[in-house]
Structure 1
């Protein structure tokens, strides 16, 4: 009986000791694993972009004048050389003060008197001419009969010619006086002429038509107002010719190949649009980042290749996300970048080998956003640890976290 109790007690003690040993025994660390694979890989740069009409037309006021309320609004379709997009009338004369008006009225009275004087001089010249003509005709008749000498006939001819020139001079003086009168009357015109219901339409306005077909992108001000020559009125463009403008760091822009393709996302629909590099601006500009760092950036212009039917609602100035393709290969050995960590001057990964993590140096080539090209140190199918913890050491026991779920 005593031996049985001792045996039972011994077994219980061994069970307790075994439990403690099992509890304190190092357990495999659960980790996330991924395989090294072969497949297509591409390098890209992600950036924000803005859509821009390729060749917008900015319409400005050709003269200083009074712009009427805009006959078109944003989004209106226009036809080249047909659609009236702006109406401008010449500026009205300014209101005159009392002294200026009194001087203008005096000039008008003076001009009216000059016209009357010119008309009187014309009548006088015409009377003298009629008398000279009669004298000349009578002298010719007498000269034919030999009654008067030839010299007297020549004097009568000279008097007739002088009287004829006097009539011409009087007429010219009358035209000059009437023109002076019109100028004096014009000095008294005021802005009330705009409200004259009998004002002819031809004397009103300069009508500006659309220089090209498209849509109205923007109107500077729809209200009627006074504009100076060269003031912007509106802009017109064709939404079929859209570019995507992207600002890249100058160091990144240098690596973009000629004719590079880009994938346009985040423009408001689920579809992905295609674009191709059309132009890189030759000069960079300085932009201050959100962290207050000055950056040298370069604008790249990408032509949208997707047809208008694939982007019906995309317009001018829309924000988009772009992925610029720098290079692309169809069959490369690759490893997730999340598995890489620095090992001195190179790279290394932890490989699953017999339930343990084995540190293995690797040679890395080109990298994409998520994957990296493997040039050496790994073979296809190997399992690597993703996001290795700083406490993970070479030879530590590990297990796949996905297998524990």
Structure 2
């Protein structure tokens, strides 16, 4: 740098040869030799200061305002008809094709579905024929008394079965004694064979004899059981014949009981046959027909849903922890229903029982249905099971000092904000009360029109310079 300055001075004097030596002396005084070094050092210092000076942090800034505030619980829901009637199949049978369409109007007691009555009519005729048969048998009870020959045959059969039982019992006992002897022989043979007293073949023969007698005893015992059962059957048959011989009124009572049973069955079949014609319970609109095709249905299968689409209510499911904050009469603001402006409704009641639902994240949640009543003339634009987004107002105020929720952060057990003053931030502890998704009510620590930092980051510190984005 010094060499450059010297060369500059020389060039200066060369371009101006007419100047005197006094003038050159004055010019050299004006350009001291340390001046270039000083200028360079000053520039470096300025650059260092600029490099290490903290730059303002760009932040989003919000304002503390005073105005209306609502605390809401936001949830999805759907509309539904207040009084829904599900017309179901009354009996099992083949359903004829349903001619109604969703949206059709029906009158009370009008036929809406028809089941094929032929199978039931056949059962009715069969029951009637059975009833006539039983009545005829009741008349002929006296002619059905047991004959002497039948009693003699039953007694002879009993004696025969008893003799067979005794013979079989004797065979069982004989086989049991032989089996006990065979077991002793087998034990003796097993002890003698290792000592060479008998051959292996003799020992195996003793074992085979024992096995044969075990099987023979099992067969004899089975025949004995069959003989005992035959004796019991013969005794019961003989006792029944003697009872019928002594008391012919027994059959009359039996036939009368059967007649009463068939009469009850016949009445039930007639009732079921009458219920194959299915009528509408109310006057209303067909909301849904699950399946119009002819098919076989069982009793209780839904066929048609009826209701009045003009009488709608809201069904909003909320978390059970939020449901305890809701009371009947709270206002409901209905958004995202398809119209240009929100609808209004009122909470009618909260269902007393919760249900379990798995969230999109796979977490089981306990939820409760909140039922609301729509109001306003535009509610007729909605239909059954339309999706809506609802905001249930649990608290509201008209002149509330409020701060954006995004400005809050935790400082210990309290809430704090960063207040912007002269482009610098200062942390301040505040007290809040009611809180919505966008703003919180300030009860202490802030004043209206004060500016606060939104979404404060960890870079912010007391006194740090900021600039609004």
Instruction: State the TM bucket, normalised to the shorter chain.
Output: 0.5 to 0.7
Residue 25 in structure 1 maps to residue 53 in structure 2: yes
Pick from 369, 383, 388 the counterpart of residue 299 of structure 1: 369
Partner of 1:153: none
Aligned residue among 454, 459, 462 for 1:386:
454
Deviation for aligned residue 1:300: 1.0
Higher share in helix: 2
Give the number of aligned pairs: 296
Q: CA deviation at 1:19?
A: 2.9
**Does the CA-based 8 Å contact 1:64-1:91 persist in structure 2?**
no
Query: Is the 1:64–1:90 Cα contact (8 Å) retained in structure 2?
Result: no
Following TM superposition, by how much is the alpha carbon of 1:310 offset from its aligned partner in structure 2, in angstroms? 4.5
In structure 1, runs of 5+ residues without a counterpart are 96-103, 115-202
| 1:311 shift after superposition | 4.4
Structure 1 pair 297–205 and aligned structure 2 pair: CA distance change class (3 A): closer
1:122-141 equivalences in 2 (<5 Å): none
Tell me, in whole angstroms, the C-alpha distance in 2 between the residues paired with 1:220 and 1:358.
Answer: 65
Partner in structure 2 of residue 332 of structure 1: 400
Query: Counterpart in 1 of 2:116?
Result: 89
Instruction: Give me the whole-angstrom Cα distance separating, in 1, the residues matched to 2:69 and 2:297.
Output: 58
Is 1:343 aligned with 2:411?
yes
1:395 aligns with 2:463: yes
Large movers: runs of 4+ above 6 Å: none
**Whole-Å separation in 1 of the counterparts to 2:429 and 2:274:** 84
More displaced stretch, 353-362 vs 73-82: 73-82
Match of residue 320 from structure 1: 388
Unaligned runs of 5+ in 2: 1-26, 137-272
Q: Is the 8 A contact 2:403 2:440 kept in 1?
A: yes
* 1:206 CA drift (Å): 5.4
Task: Decide whether aligned partners of structure 1 residues 205 and 262 sit closer, same or farther in structure 2, where only a CA change above 3 A counts.
Answer: closer
Aligned pairs for 1:6-405 within 5 A: 6=33, 7-82=35-110, 84-92=111-119, 207-307=277-377, 309-312=378-381, 314-401=382-469
1:270 is paired with a residue whose SS is coil
Alpha carbons 1:65, 1:91 under 8 Å: kept = no
User: Does the CA-based 8 Å contact 2:318-2:369 persist in structure 1?
Assistant: yes
TM-score normalised according to structure 2 size: 0.58
Q: Determine the C-alpha separation between the residues in 2 that align with 1:366 and 1:93.
A: 67
Q: For the Cα contact (< 8 Å) 2:94–2:294, is it kept in 1? A: yes
Secondary structure at the aligned position of 1:89 is classed as coil
Q: Which moved more, 1:298-307 or 1:234-243?
A: 298-307
Tell me, in whole angstroms, the C-alpha distance in 2 between the residues paired with 1:224 and 1:68.
5
**Structure 1 or 2: more strand by fraction:** 1
CA contact (8 A) 2:91 2:275 kept: no
- Superposed CA deviations along residues 334-381 of structure 1, whole A, max 9, x for unmatched, are 101111111111011111123211111101111011100101011111
Q: What is the deviation of 1:18?
A: 1.4
Q: For residues 352 and 205 of structure 1, what CA distance do their matches in structure 2 show?
A: 79
